[in-house]
Amino acid sequence: MTDAAAPVAPAASPPKSAGRPARPRYDRSIVEGPLLPAVWKLAWPTMLTNIIGGLQGMVDQALVGNLIGYKANAAIGVSMQMWIIVIIFISSLFTGMSVLVARFAGAGDHDKVDRTVYQAFITAIGLAVFVMAPIGYFAAPWLLDLVNAAPEVKLEALPFLRIMFVFSGGMLVFFMLGGALRSAGDARTPMVLGITLTVLNLVLNIILIRGLGPIPAFGTKGAAMGTCTASGLLAVYALFKLWHGGWVVSFPRGQGYAPDWTIIRSLFRFGLPAGIQGIAANIGGVFMLAFIGSLAQSAAAQAAFAVCYTQLFSLITWTSVGLMGASAALAGQNLGAGKPDRAAAAVHVAARIGLSSAAIVGALFLFIPRQLLAVFGMHDPVVVAIGVQLLHVLSLSGLFIAAALTYTGGLQGTGDTKSPLYISIISQVVLPLGICFVIQRTGTLEPIHIWIAILIGHATRFALTVMRFNQGKWRNITVSIGGATG
């Protein structure tokens, strides 16, 4: 299966506007020279950003939990579940943008890179203003009813969720900008922006949740207000930089500023499968939680799952997601530069780094699981026993998911966004849920059965993704956005 569009015209010499100062060249170490430093240069900033962003979420929960109570924790938790599912789907066009930007940057075509980034920007603003704000505001009560939020939780969650939807533009611009810069070979600027956003968000949340001087305490709403204000300020700064230049990507000049539907269709053609993939994974997780909730020791199993899979397993996924982004940028740029063999080699290097880091974390899961659980205050014998069992399984599962994510990045970066979608549906939804369903119907479902089902799903995703990448059909995917925009 090949997502082929019209052939891309060669662009060895990017056009330059008269009188316009020369912009920084793209980092040629991505398409030339040693691969290991190139992979690490793109991966580590994303890893660090993910870690800091994850810690900020933990601080938010600690703040509202201590200042307001567990109802506020539940409200933010439920609201963020809804928000993440929607934002994953809406922001899927940025995967499509990354495919185009990486390909054109590899070819050295500044003009097409900038046109793609501008069209992604106006699409993000259009989605925020005309889709997420109105639909999110009116659908928020229904979404909370869908997850059976208790009345007292819904009272706290509704204003939080509505604020997040109505003022979503800044966050969409942040996601768009990070993807554009990384795909063009600059991973440090998104890291600096991400850390700045996290720090600003944290400061505003502390002020708005608890109040300060003349500023009243907004409680749970303050967390949403802080997030939207911080991302909105960042979006204004990004608009200034994109307009005046100074980054590796910027807005085009002298080509008109109307929507270019050819580019926008390409954004969605390559991006929507990634969005649907994210939704499928989240839906699979929701149903898996339902199976855990049906166990005889459901409370203990849910507690173990929340700490082991949601928190500790993130030590592997944070690294792997950074490597996935690096794989996507390297594969896309090298394919754009006419170097498919180097693109393949870059993904293999990223996978080896992912396997090494997953093996180190897996060793901790295997040899000191009780100490890791104790960090989260888990001392109940039943919970600890189930948690140790899960961590032992995840010590192996982490190897599969780390490699699978890097090869997923390789496929998506070259434009094959449909194959990861199909593989995710099979490996993260059909197979693990099917195993749990059959065992539940034919016998007694135990925690170990669910953990093994997760392991089998991860192993299957690894096998299918590596097999698909090694088929090499991505080498024939071409992209184009046509002539100049009017």
- In sequence order, what are the beta bridge partners of 67? none
Mean pLDDT calculated for residue range 121-132 = 92
pLDDT in tens, 187-227: 899 999 988 998 898 899 889 988 888 889 888 888 889 98
Token pair for residue 76? Answer: 């933010």
* Number of other residues whose CB lies within 10 A of the CB of residue 145: 10
Task: Say yes or no to pLDDT of 380 above 50.
Answer: yes
Tell me the pTM. 0.81
Contact 150, 69 (CB under 8 A): no
Average pLDDT over residues 239-253: 91
pLDDT tens for 298-347 read: 878 877 887 788 778 888 988 898 899 899 999 999 999 999 999 999 99
Q: What is the distance between the alpha carbons of residues 317 and 410, in angstroms, rounded to a whole number?
A: 16
Cα–Cα distance between 144 and 459 in angstroms, integer? Answer: 34
Q: Is the Cβ–Cβ distance between 321 and 50 less than 8 Å?
A: yes
pLDDT at position 476 over 80: yes
CA-atom Rg of the chain in angstroms: 23
Cβ(440)–Cβ(291) under 8 Å? yes
15 vs 341: which has the higher pLDDT:
341
* End-to-end CA separation in angstroms for the chain: 33
Residue 159 reports pLDDT greater than 80: yes
Question: Percent of the chain at pLDDT above 90?
Answer: 47
Answer yes or no: are the C-beta atoms of 436 and 308 closer than 8 Å. no
Residue range 367-386: mean pLDDT, rounded: 86
Where do the structural domains in the chain lie, given as residue ranges?
A: 30-259, 272-473
Distances (CA, A) of 365 to 253, 312, 353, 362, 373: 53, 9, 19, 5, 10
pLDDT of residue 17: 41
Residue 298 is encoded by which pair of tokens?
Answer: 């459901």
Judged against a pLDDT cut of 50, whether residue 14 lies above it is answered with no
Alpha carbon distance 262, 372 (integer Å): 51
pLDDT digits (tens, 9 = 90+) for 51-99: 777 666 656 656 666 666 656 666 666 677 677 777 777 777 788 899 9
pLDDT at residue 150 is higher than 80: no
Judge whether residue 371 has pLDDT over 80: yes
Comparing 370-384, 408-422, 439-453, which segment has the lowest mean pLDDT?
Answer: 370-384
| 293: three-class secondary structure by DSSP | helix
CA atoms within 13 A on the CB side of 379: 2
